[in-house]
Amino acid sequence: MIAHSLLISSETQLEKIALEIAEKLQQGDTITLRGDLGAGKTTFTRFLINSLFNKSIEVQSPTFTLVHEYVSPKGKIWHYDLYRLKDKREIRELLLLDFLEKDICIIEWPEIIEEYLPENRLDIYLDYMEDNLESRIVKFVTHGSWLERIKDVSK
């Protein structure tokens, strides 16, 4: 597990990071997104999914539906938002465990299912800067093959 961070000050920079990561995505990949409300988790996901489709499609937070499915040129993408889950037993209803390591899974608020997450994944933390709420620290924690795959992201 290796971590490195980037400081960004615009959505354009977040979009560039999402595009670079989308280029490296493969079937069976899992990306988790962590951070406070409004930190940019769904915005990052929208940029990533739109880059996979190479066009603008509607990508909304699945806060109330808990999951959205997209069929991209790279295969199925499952976008989960686990913010409202109170009991990890609820994940069985979402079929999340069926798709991990099979399809591309993007999981916002993954803390409740930490023990089920695959060993090969990319954890992305989006944190506000205390002195500038427009800027973000984007921290990547790599597991498995992700260390090699993102070593040149936004360099």
* 38-55 pLDDT, tens digit each: 899 999 999 999 999 877
pLDDT score for 57: 79
pLDDT score for 134: 76
Per the CB < 8 A criterion, the answer to whether 50 and 36 are in contact is no
Query: Can you tell me the distance from the alpha carbon of 88 to that of 94, in angstroms, rounded to the nearest whole number?
Result: 11
pLDDT score for 95: 66
For the beta sheet containing 132-142, the strands, ordered from the edge strand earlier in sequence to the opposite edge, are: 2-8, 132-142, 122-129, 30-35, 104-108, 75-81, 67-72
* 86-127 pLDDT, tens digit each: 887 777 776 677 778 789 999 999 998 898 899 899 999 999
